[in-house]
Amino acid sequence: MKEKTKELADSVGAVYPSLFLGRHDGVLFTETELETFVELVAAAERQACAKVCDKYAEGPERNYSENIADDIRARGNT
């Protein structure tokens, strides 16, 4: 599991059950924890996409890239 994914899962209270010889085969979430985890993942992805747009904010595409980045970030508010 990627470190960032584990951090997000831990932040919502995920449980990692240990099986035979301490092997971990999954992650357990309550329904509420899962919904919160999905929201956090989506927010992180929106932020990553918006940062790509931010790279263009210094060039001639500035007005467009800022608007696009703002629109991407705002998707979490709908």
Residue-wise pLDDT tens digits, 6-56: 899 999 999 888 776 667 678 889 999 999 999 999 999 888 888 877 776
Cβ-based neighbour number of residue 69 at 10 Å: 21
Answer whether 0.95 is exceeded by the pTM. Answer: no
Coil/strand/helix, residue 24: strand
CA atoms within 13 A on the CB side of 67: 4
